[in-house]
Chains A and B, each alone.
Chain A
Amino acid sequence: MKISSIFPLALASLLLPATVIADDGVMDKALLDEAKLLADSGLHYLRQTQAEDGSWSSSVGVTALGLRAFLENRRGYTEGDGPFITRPVKFLLNHVNEDGSISETNQNRNYNTAVAITALQATNNPAYAEIIANAQRYIHKLQLDSEEGYEPDHKYYGGIGYGGDERPDLSNIYHSIEAMKITGFDANDPMWEKALTFISRSQNNSETNDQEWASNDGGFAYMPGYSPHGGTVSYGSMTAAGLLSLLYAGADKNDPRVKAAYDWIRANYTVETNPGAKKNQGLFYYYNAFAKTMRAYGEKDLVDAQGVSHNWREDLTRQLKGMQSKDGSWVNNDSPRWWEGDKNLCTAWSVIALNQVINK
């Protein structure tokens, strides 16, 4: 699969300035205004909970997501707007390590580095180019291949893990390649092809997955041969992440893997739960990945397996409106798994999702 086969319009839309608003009929005007208000109140909450050093939850990852929520908002915040933007940037820069990673901890180094450079890129400040390039090299080095003893037939091949261990998973590689894509990493690097191998092996699609466990619903598990929700079951957050990863890595809408993943989303369409997940685990991760994926896929409406048409922007806006607390925050009341007991994280993810809804 060549990177040149990327369908340019859908992916280019991800890189457009955040101020191109979805006001030309892609969703109901009243709901668009609601989405803007929801995002504003979410950002207001984040302003209130921001620490003196600019961080959220004392975490590089949460801080980077909070920063991204501001920088990609339709209001077009920049570093010129004040300390609420410059301080979190400084917090990220203060956690740049010698190996190029950006993290306050040895765990989560890949996640932290990936979301940190995505946020730094969103500042459009060329002063961070070297830091971003070093972080790209760090992420690139994390990818498992023959250099680490993983040959192409190994289920780990092409994957990327947390950085504190070698066990790769789809969520980590999704964040990694999103960061690499957004920060403009070399499109001809073999990394993309290797990533596609790993992503394909996480999909329940025996036509394109050479692993014996693969079934045929088209959805994605957490990693080859394992789902935290039982066996190798497909679920919403990973299927959205898997589909977006395929698009980032160079697959197009005609690719059988993309078609199968989209069909899974059609068959399991909902914004009320993270479909397929136990106890609604990873619900806000799902909203975030789902919104980005649907925007990248470029369809205004999604027709589900029963033939019912859904405007995903409107559905997600209504759902997030119903879940927002009076203080403007969101939190997963069903399960703290994947850090979703943290209001700052859930709020940042919700605002980023709303930014996808609002921005064309």
Chain B
Amino acid sequence: MRRSGIKTVWYLLWILAGSELLATTLPMALPEGECRWLLATLCLTSALVLLYSRGSEPPLAPGQLQSALLAGLGVLAVLTWHLPVTYIATHSLHFQLALGVGILVFSAGGLIQLLTRFTDDPPFSSWMIFCLAVLLASAPLWTGPAVDLIPSPLWGTNLIIAFSPLSYLASLAEWDYLRGEWFYRHSPFGGLRYEYPSAAIASIVYVGIGLVSRYLANLLNRPSATTDARAGISQATP
């Protein structure tokens, strides 16, 4: 129990330190909305990396929810610290973003568990899910040249945008990141017609992915390194 508590604090400190370090290096010229959105993205990335780094340990059964909560709290702390609440909308946006990051981490945690049932290799599973998240998030960049050639790409662009976790955060932050300066310069999506996914529906989908993955992982319940390791820890704990 004490060991778990220390790990939790250690985990939270890492999220805060990582996000804080990146946040302070952001150019001061960034618009507030973009800054808020970027900070949340950085916190999410930190949380996913930490999920990966904890992959060889047994945190993912109770830790899926725990990780999500901690990631969400980390986002809230960093946003509140860096962007003082000046009006109620900002306050609400901070909570929405924190919730969104928590939900994404919850979803990723479920997928890692499920994948581990097939790979028996939690670090590898974590790495795969992290890579998948990066691949989907960067889709507006690497699909850009192809999308630019399609005469009426509305359906395709919406699909690519909907699958990106960044779009989910953008919906919550009410921030059109594809028309922000960096993305606009590096992706043609900003010049196309598109819609972000509904934040409410996307939240339900991501929570659903987390729950269904967890359920399937339990259903498959093959002996795995995770189970073995958990057994090892519980035996070692007096």
Interface on A for B, CB 8 Å cutoff?
59, 105-107, 148-149, 154, 156, 161-162, 164-167, 226, 228, 281, 333, 335-339, 341-342
B133-179, CB < 8 A from A: 148, 150-153, 174-177, 179
A165–B31 CB distance below 8 A: yes
**Overall SS of chain A's interface:** loop
B176–A341 CB distance below 8 A: no
CB distance from B229 to the nearest CB of A (A): 45
Alpha-carbon distance between A281 and B191 when the two chains are bound, in angstroms: 10
Knowing A164-B175, A226-B185 touch, does A341 contact B153 (C-beta < 8 A)? yes
Alpha-carbon distance between A333 and B150 when the two chains are bound, in angstroms: 10
Knowing A167-B181, A336-B151 touch, does A107 contact B33 (C-beta < 8 A)? no
Knowing A107-B195, A161-B179 touch, does A166 contact B33 (C-beta < 8 A)? yes
Residue B232 at the chain A interface, CB threshold 8 Å? no
Could you say which of B33, B152, B194 contacts A342, with CB atoms under 8 Å apart? Answer: B152
Residue B188 at the chain A interface, CB threshold 8 Å? yes
A335–B148 CB distance below 8 A: yes
Residue B26 at the chain A interface, CB threshold 8 Å? no
Which residues of chain A have C-beta atoms less than 8 A from B176's C-beta?
Answer: 106-107, 162, 164-165
The 3 A-B pairs with the shortest beta carbon distances in the complex, nearest first, are A164-B176, A166-B31, A165-B176
Knowing A336-B152, A342-B152 touch, does A165 contact B192 (C-beta < 8 A)? no
CB distance from A222 to the nearest CB of B (A): 9
A165–B34 CB distance below 8 A: yes
Could you say which of A161, A164, A281, A335 contacts B174, with CB atoms under 8 Å apart? Answer: A164
Please, which residue of chain B has its CB at the minimum distance from the CB of A331?
B151
Alpha-carbon distance between A148 and B188 when the two chains are bound, in angstroms: 28
Q: List 14 A-B contacts (CB under 8 A).
A: A105-B195, A106-B176, A107-B179, A107-B196, A149-B32, A162-B176, A162-B179, A164-B175, A165-B31, A165-B176, A226-B185, A335-B148, A336-B151, A337-B148
CB distance from B198 to the nearest CB of A (A): 11
Contact indicator per residue, chain B 89-108, by CB within 8 Å of chain A (1) or not (0): 00000000000000000000
CB distance from A258 to the nearest CB of B (A): 28
Residue B29 at the chain A interface, CB threshold 8 Å? yes
Residue B82 at the chain A interface, CB threshold 8 Å? no
Which residues of chain A have C-beta atoms less than 8 A from B33's C-beta?
Answer: 165-166
Which residues of chain B have C-beta atoms less than 8 A from A228's C-beta?
Answer: 191
Most buried by B among A107, A154, A336, A341: A336
B148–A167 CB distance below 8 A: no
CB distance from A271 to the nearest CB of B (A): 22
Could you say which of B150, B174, B177, B180 contacts A336, with CB atoms under 8 Å apart? Answer: B150
Residue B7 at the chain A interface, CB threshold 8 Å? no
Which residues of chain B have C-beta atoms less than 8 A from A167's C-beta?
Answer: 31, 34, 179-181, 184
Knowing A161-B179, A165-B34, A167-B179 touch, does A342 contact B193 (C-beta < 8 A)? yes
Which residues of chain A have C-beta atoms less than 8 A from B32's C-beta?
Answer: 148-149, 166
B175–A165 CB distance below 8 A: yes
Knowing A228-B191, A337-B188, A342-B193 touch, does A164 contact B179 (C-beta < 8 A)? yes
CB distance from A319 to the nearest CB of B (A): 21
Alpha-carbon distance between A335 and B151 when the two chains are bound, in angstroms: 7
Which residues of chain B have C-beta atoms less than 8 A from A166's C-beta?
Answer: 31-34
Contact indicator per residue, chain B 183-226, by CB within 8 Å of chain A (1) or not (0): 01100100111111000000000000000000000000000000
Alpha-carbon distance between A167 and B183 when the two chains are bound, in angstroms: 11
Which residues of chain B have C-beta atoms less than 8 A from A59's C-beta?
Answer: 193
Alpha-carbon distance between A165 and B62 when the two chains are bound, in angstroms: 38
Alpha-carbon distance between A166 and B181 when the two chains are bound, in angstroms: 9
Could you say which of B29, B151, B181 contacts A341, with CB atoms under 8 Å apart? Answer: B151
A341–B179 CB distance below 8 A: no
Which residues of chain A have C-beta atoms less than 8 A from B153's C-beta?
Answer: 336, 341
Knowing A154-B29, A339-B193 touch, does A165 contact B152 (C-beta < 8 A)? no
Alpha-carbon distance between A25 and B177 when the two chains are bound, in angstroms: 50
Please, which residue of chain A has its CB at the minimum distance from the CB of B37?
A165
CB distance from A312 to the nearest CB of B (A): 27
Which residues of chain B have C-beta atoms less than 8 A from A338's C-beta?
Answer: 191
Alpha-carbon distance between A148 and B35 when the two chains are bound, in angstroms: 13
Which residues of chain B have C-beta atoms less than 8 A from A342's C-beta?
Answer: 152, 193
Which residues of chain B have C-beta atoms less than 8 A from A148's C-beta?
Answer: 31-32
B179–A339 CB distance below 8 A: no
CB distance from A261 to the nearest CB of B (A): 23
CB distance from A54 to the nearest CB of B (A): 20
Alpha-carbon distance between A81 and B177 when the two chains are bound, in angstroms: 42
Which residues of chain A have C-beta atoms less than 8 A from B180's C-beta?
Answer: 165, 167
Please, which residue of chain B has its CB at the minimum distance from the CB of A338?
B191
Alpha-carbon distance between A244 and B105 when the two chains are bound, in angstroms: 49
Contact indicator per residue, chain B 22-40, by CB within 8 Å of chain A (1) or not (0): 0000000101111000000
